[in-house]
C-alpha cells in the first residue's frame, strides 16, 4: 500500500427485493411443515381402525341370494342390499363415462380427494353445528364415495354416514389409500358395484334389472344417463316418483357428456328425445310361489344362518317344478271358490245406502279404471246400481262402465246353511242383492262363463241372459282354506306345494304347519299294520256291526258309526277300505292293539303309535280307539310322505325341497339332484346319483305289504269313495278323508310318478264345511284339477308288483273270503304267498276260476 493513498474496496450492496422472497419462502416452508405435521397428526388420530383396502380379486360385498325352481325359473330373492357384482369389463364404457360426467369429471386427473370441496363441506358442516345455519355438505369424488361404501361395509351404515368432520376425514384418508393401492379402473369397479341407485338397487347391474329388466350391457344411452343421475339423490330423482324431474336430471348428464366430448351431438339429440320408461320393481317372491319359497327360506336360515342368506349370494335351486306349482295354485284357487260357494253367500263387501256415498265410490272407481274396458277373466269391485223388475239381472257399475249380472251368474248365492244339500237350494234370481251393495264380480266372455258348476247350469236362465252387453258373475272372498302337497317319490322331490289361499293375507303354511285330523285317510295305515304285523289279507273277513266302547278313565262312552249310518255285516277287508267303513277300521285297530300289546291295549296303542312314527308321522296318536278313524292330527306334508313310502313299496326316504345350493363362486354347498333329473346338468346328476347309492333309505314296511295296501287304495279309486279320480284317465290309488261334521276334507292319492294330497277346511273351525262336503266332494276335485295338468302328456303304468315280490293272485268270494267257485259275486285279490285261502266250494259242474289266473 502506498503511503498517503486511499485503498478502495468493493462492498456489495444489499438487494432489498430479496427479503420478501426469503420471508415468503420461510412462511411456505413453515406452512408445508405445518401441513405435514397436521396431516401426520390427523392421520395418526383418525386412521386407527380404518378397514383394509379391498383387493379386487377378493372383493366380497353383500350380494343377494336367488331362489330358483328345478327348471330354472326365478322364484325369489333375499338380501340386505340387492346387489349383483359384475366385472368391470362387462360394464359399458358409455355407462362409466356417464357416471364420471355426472359425478366427477376430473376423476382420472385427481389424487382421490377434492380438497376444495371437502374443505367447503367441512366449513359448512361446522357452520351448521355451531350457528345452526346452512346445509350439511357432501362434496366427494368417486374415490371418496367408494371409500364411504367401504366404510359402510366395515363399520355399518349409521357410523359411516354420520354428518361429522371425523367421518369426512376418515373417508378422505381411506380415499388416498385407495388411490395409492388401486388403479382408477379398479376404483371404478368397486364404485359401480356399490353405488346406491334407489329402489333396492346397489350397483349398476341391480339397477339395470330393477328399472329396465335388462342386463347392464344392454342399456341404451338414455337409460345409462338416467342411472348415472341418480346417486346424488336417488329418491328425489326417482323416475317412479317424478318422471319429469328424472328426465331433467338425465338431460344434465347427457349435456355433461356432450360438453366433454363423450358423445356426439346426434347421440345427444336421440337420447334426449327418449321417453322415461321404467318398470316397477318386481316382487317375485309374492307373485310366484310365496309358500314354497318361504319354506325354502326358513330351511336355509335354520341350517346356514340368516346372514348367509341375506349377504352371501347363495344360489338356491329348489325341487319345485314351475308348471306343477302354477297348476297347484290354480287348482287350490278354483277348488276353494267352488267349496266356498256351496256354503252360501255371506253378503256384500259393504253397503252404501246414501246416494252421496254411492257417487263417491263411483268416482274413485273411475280413477282406478281410467279408460280401461272390462276384461273377461278379471275380478272387479263394483256397485249394484239397478235391479230389473223381474229380478233376473242386476246392473253393476265398474268405473264408468256398467255390466250385467244375470241370475245364472249367482245361483249359488243363497243364505248360508251347511245342513242343506247344495244342488237343492240353488236360487233363480238376484234378490240377495240390494241397491248400493258393493260386491266382487268376475267378468266373463259369454253366458257359458257365468258358472263353472254343472249343477248350477240352467237352460231356462241362460235363455234370459241379455246379448251384446258386458257380463259378470258374483264372487266372494273364500272363507275356507286349502293346502296341496305333491311329491315325486322316486326323485324324492317336493314338486309343488301351496299352503293356503292368500299368502299376503295369512303367511301360515297349512301344508307344513297345520296339524289336522286326517279322518279316513289314516285307515290305510291301520290296515297296513294288520297286514304287516298280524298276517291279515285283503280277503280277511270283518264284521260291520255296532260297537260301543266304554272309557272308564274319562267316564264316557263312544259309539262309532259308518258315514251312511248303516251296517253291512260280514265284509272283506278290501271292501271295508274301498267303501271307507268306520266300524271295521275300529275293530281292526282294536285287534292290532291287543295283538301288539299282548292283550294289554294301552301298550298296544303305544306300539301302533310307534309303527305310525316309523312310517314318517311325528305327531302322537290319541290313546284311544278313535285314532283308527284319524282323530289324531297330522301334518299334510307328513301324510303325503307316508303315502310316498307306500308308493315306494315300503322304502322310507327323505323328501327334498332344496335340490342344491351354490355359493357366490358357483361352488357346491349341498346337492340332492336325482340321477334322472332332465333339468340338471350331467355333472350334477352323476355326482349326486353316486352319492345316493350311499343313502339306500329304510325299509319300514315289507314290500309285499306296501303293494297290497296300494292295491287296496287302487280299489278306492276304481269303485269306492275316490271313484271321481278315474277322470284323471291314469291309474291312481288313494284314500278320501272326512272328519266328524266335515271340519276337514282330504284326498291323498298317487300314480306311479306323483303322490299328492289335497286338504280343505277352516283354520279355526268356526263351523263345519257342510253336511255333504266330504273328501271326495271338497278335496278330490282340487287333486284332480292339479294332477290332470301335472301329468298332462305323461303316461302312467298300472300298478303291478315287481317279480321279486312273493305275491299271488286269487279269485275270492265276496261273502265268505274263500276261493270263488265262479266269477259271479267275486273279486281278484293279492296275497302274500302262504296267506291265500285254500278252501273253496265250487259249484257243481263249474270250473275253478283260479285256474285261469296267472300266478307268479
User: Which one from 103, 209, 532, 538 is the annotated catalytic residue?
Assistant: 103
- The single residue of 206, 365, 495, 520 carrying the catalytic annotation is 520
**Checking DSSP bridges between strand 315-318 and strand 65-68, what pairing results, if any?**
parallel
The residues with which 664 forms a beta bridge, in sequence order, are: none
Residue 618's CB is within 10 A of a number of other CB atoms, namely 10
Contact 499, 510 (CB under 8 A): yes
Residue ranges in 535-654 assigned as alpha helix (H): 573-578, 582-596, 601-615, 636-647
Do 443 and 396 touch, CB atoms closer than 8 A?
no
Residues with Cβ within 8 Å of residue 355, at least 6 apart in sequence: none
Active site residue 795: no
Burial class (CB in 10 A: 0-12, 13-18, 19+), 165: middle
End-to-end, the C-alpha distance of the chain in Å comes to 151
The Cα–Cα gap between 541 and 525 comes to 18
- Residue (of 690, 708, 684, 740) closest to 835 by Cα position: 708
C-alpha span between 361 and 615 (Å, rounded):
57
Residue 103 bears catalytic tag: yes
- Non-local CB neighbours of 117 within 8 Å, separated by 6+ positions: 139, 140, 141
Contact 813, 769 (CB under 8 A): no
What pairs with residue 164 in β-bridges?
Answer: none
Cell 342399456, residue located: 219
Q: Are 417 and 375 in contact (CB under 8 A)?
A: no
Residue with cell string 252404501? 352
The per-residue DSSP string of 390-416 comes to: TSSEEEEEETTEEEEEEGGGGTT-SBP
Query: What span, in angstroms and rounded, lies between the C-alpha atoms of 847 and 856?
Result: 21
Question: Collapsing DSSP states into helix, strand and coil, what is residue 274?
Answer: coil
Q: Do 747 and 776 touch, CB atoms closer than 8 A?
A: yes
* Residue 129 backbone class (left: φ over 0; alpha: ψ -120 to 50; beta: rest): alpha
Degrees, nearest 5: CA angle 523-525-528: 110
**Nearest of 481, 494, 492 to residue 295 by alpha carbon:** 494
DSSP 8-state code for residue 449: G
366: which residues sit within 8 A by CB, 6+ positions away? 399, 400
Q: Which residues contact 552 (CB under 8 A, 6 or more apart)?
A: none
**Rounded CA gap, 680 and 671, in Å?**
11
User: How many other C-beta atoms lie within 10 A of the C-beta of residue 844?
Assistant: 5
Q: Where are the beta strands (DSSP E) in 23-169?
A: 65-68, 74-78
Spatial distance between the Cα atoms of 551 and 559, rounded to a whole number of angstroms: 11
**Beta carbons within 10 angstroms of residue 854's beta carbon:** 6
Question: Annotated active-site positions, please?
Answer: 103, 520
Amino acid at each position: 500500500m502506498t503511503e498517503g493513498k486511499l485503498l478502495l474496496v468493493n462492498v456489495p450492496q444489499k438487494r432489498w427485493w430479496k427479503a420478501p422472497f426469503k420471508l415468503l419462502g420461510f412462511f411456505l416452508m413453515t406452512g408445508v411443515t405445518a401441513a405435514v405435521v397436521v396431516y401426520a397428526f390427523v392421520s395418526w388420530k383418525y386412521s386407527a381402525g380404518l378397514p383394509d383396502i379391498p383387493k379386487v380379486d377378493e372383493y366380497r360385498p353383500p350380494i343377494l341370494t336367488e331362489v330358483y325352481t328345478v327348471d330354472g325359473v326365478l322364484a325369489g330373492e333375499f338380501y340386505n342390499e340387492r346387489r349383483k357384482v359384475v366385472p368391470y369389463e362387462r360394464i359399458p364404457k358409455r355407462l362409466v363415462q356417464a357416471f364420471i360426467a355426472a359425478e366427477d369429471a376430473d376423476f382420472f386427473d385427481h389424487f382421490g380427494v377434492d380438497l376444495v370441496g371437502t374443505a367447503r363441506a367441512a366449513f359448512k358442516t361446522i357452520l351448521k353445528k355451531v350457528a345452526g345455519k346452512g346445509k350439511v355438505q357432501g362434496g366427494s369424488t368417486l374415490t371418496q364415495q367408494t371409500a364411504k361404501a367401504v366404510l359402510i361395509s366395515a363399520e355399518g351404515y349409521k357410523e359411516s354416514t354420520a354428518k361429522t368432520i371425523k367421518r369426512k376425514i376418515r373417508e378422505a384418508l381411506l380415499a388416498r389409500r385407495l388411490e395409492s393401492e388401486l388403479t382408477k379402473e379398479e376404483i371404478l369397479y368397486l364404485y359401480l358395484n356399490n353405488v346406491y341407485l334407489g329402489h333396492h338397487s346397489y350397483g349398476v347391474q341391480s339397477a339395470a334389472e330393477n328399472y329396465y329388466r335388462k342386463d347392464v350391457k344392454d342399456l341404451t344411452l338414455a337409460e345409462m344417463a338416467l342411472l348415472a343421475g341418480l346417486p346424488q339423490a336417488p329418491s328425489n330423482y326417482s323416475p317412479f316418483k317424478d318422471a319429469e324431474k328424472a328426465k331433467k336430471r338425465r338431460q344434465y348428464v347427457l349435456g355433461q357428456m356432450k360438453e366433454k366430448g363423450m358423445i356426439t351431438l346426434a347421440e345427444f339429440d336421440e337420447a334426449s328425445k327418449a321417453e322415461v320408461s321404467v318398470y316397477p320393481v318386481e316382487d317375485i317372491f309374492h307373485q310366484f310361489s310365496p309358500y314354497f319359497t318361504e319354506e325354502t327360506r326358513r330351511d336355509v336360515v335354520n341350517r346356514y344362518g340368516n346372514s348367509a342368506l341375506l349377504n352371501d349370494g347363495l344360489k338356491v335351486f329348489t325341487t319345485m317344478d314351475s308348471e306343477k306349482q302354477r297348476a297347484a295354485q290354480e287348482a287350490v284357487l278354483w277348488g276353494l271358490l267352488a267349496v266356498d260357494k256351496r256354503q252360501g253367500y255371506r253378503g256384500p263387501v259393504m253397503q252404501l245406502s246414501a246416494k252421496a256415498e254411492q257417487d263417491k265410490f263411483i268416482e274413485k272407481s273411475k280413477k282406478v279404471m281410467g279408460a280401461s274396458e272390462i276384461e273377461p277373466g278379471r275380478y272387479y269391485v263394483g256397485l249394484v246400481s239397478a235391479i230389473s223388475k223381474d229380478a233376473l239381472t242386476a246392473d253393476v257399475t265398474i268405473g264408468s262402465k256398467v255390466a250385467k249380472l244375470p241370475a245364472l251368474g249367482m245361483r249359488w248365492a243363497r243364505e248360508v246353511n251347511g245342513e242343506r244339500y247344495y244342488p237343492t237350494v240353488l236360487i233363480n234370481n238376484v234378490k240377495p242383492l240390494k241397491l248400493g251393495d258393493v260386491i266382487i264380480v268376475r267378468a266373463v266372455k259369454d253366458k257359458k262363463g257365468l258358472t263353472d258348476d254343472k249343477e248350477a247350469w240352467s237352460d231356462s236362465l241362460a235363455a234370459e241372459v241379455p246379448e251384446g252387453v258386458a257380463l259378470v258373475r258374483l264372487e266372494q272372498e273364500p272363507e275356507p282354506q286349502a293346502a296341496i302337497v305333491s311329491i315325486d317319490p322316486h326323485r324324492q322331490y317336493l314338486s309343488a306345494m301351496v299352503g293356503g289361499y292368500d299368502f299376503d293375507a295369512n303367511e301360515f303354511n297349512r301344508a307344513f304347519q297345520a296339524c289336522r285330523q286326517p279322518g279316513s285317510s289314516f285307515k290305510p295305515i291301520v290296515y297296513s299294520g294288520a297286514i304287516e304285523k298280524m298276517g291279515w289279507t285283503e280277503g280277511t273277513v270283518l264284521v260291520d256291526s255296532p260297537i260301543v266302547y266304554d272309557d272308564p278313565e274319562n267316564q264316557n262312552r263312544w259309539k262309532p258309526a259308518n258315514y251312511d249310518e248303516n251296517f253291512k255285516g260280514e265284509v272283506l277287508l278290501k271292501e271295508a277300505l274301498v267303501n271307507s267303513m268306520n266300524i271295521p277300521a275300529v275293530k281292526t285297530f282294536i285287534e292290532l292293539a291287543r295283538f301288539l300289546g299282548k292283550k294289554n291295549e294301552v301298550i298296544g296303542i303305544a306300539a301302533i303309535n310307534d309303527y305310525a312314527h316309523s312310517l314318517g308321522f311325528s305327531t302322537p296318536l290319541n290313546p284311544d280307539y278313535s285314532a283308527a278313524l284319524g282323530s289324531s292330527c297330522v301334518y299334510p306334508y307328513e301324510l303325503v310322505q307316508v303315502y310316498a313310502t307306500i308308493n315306494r313299496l315300503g322304502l322310507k326316504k327323505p323328501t327334498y325341497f332344496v335340490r342344491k345350493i351354490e355359493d357366490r363362486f358357483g361352488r357346491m354347498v349341498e346337492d340332492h339332484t336325482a340321477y334322472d333329473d332332465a333339468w340338471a346338468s350331467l355333472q350334477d346328476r352323476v355326482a349326486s346319483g353316486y352319492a345316493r347309492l350311499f343313502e339306500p333309505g329304510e325299509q319300514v314296511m315289507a314290500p309285499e305289504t306296501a303293494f297290497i295296501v296300494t292295491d287296496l287304495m287302487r280299489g278306492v279309486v276304481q269303485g269306492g269313495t275316490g271313484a271321481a279320480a278315474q277322470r284323471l284317465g291314469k291309474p291312481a290309488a288313494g284314500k278320501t278323508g272326512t272328519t266328524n261334521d266335515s271340519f276337514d276334507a282330504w284326498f291323498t292319492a298317487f300314480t306311479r310318478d306323483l303322490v299328492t294330497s289335497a286338504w280343505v277346511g277352516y283354520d279355526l273351525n268356526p263351523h263345519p264345511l257342510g253336511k255333504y262336503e266330504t273328501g271326495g266332494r271338497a278335496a278330490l276335485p282340487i287333486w284332480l284339477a292339479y294332477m290332470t295338468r301335472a301329468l298332462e302328456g305323461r303316461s302312467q303304468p298300472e300298478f303291478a308288483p315287481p317279480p321279486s315280490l312273493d305275491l299271488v293272485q286269487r279269485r275270492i268270494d265276496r261273502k265268505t273270503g274263500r276261493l270263488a267257485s265262479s266269477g259271479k259275486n267275486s273279486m281278484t285279490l293279492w296275497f302274500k304267498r302262504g296267506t291265500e285261502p285254500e278252501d273253496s266250494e265250487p259249484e257243481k259242474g263249474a270250473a275253478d276260476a283260479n285256474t285261469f289266473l296267472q300266478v307268479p
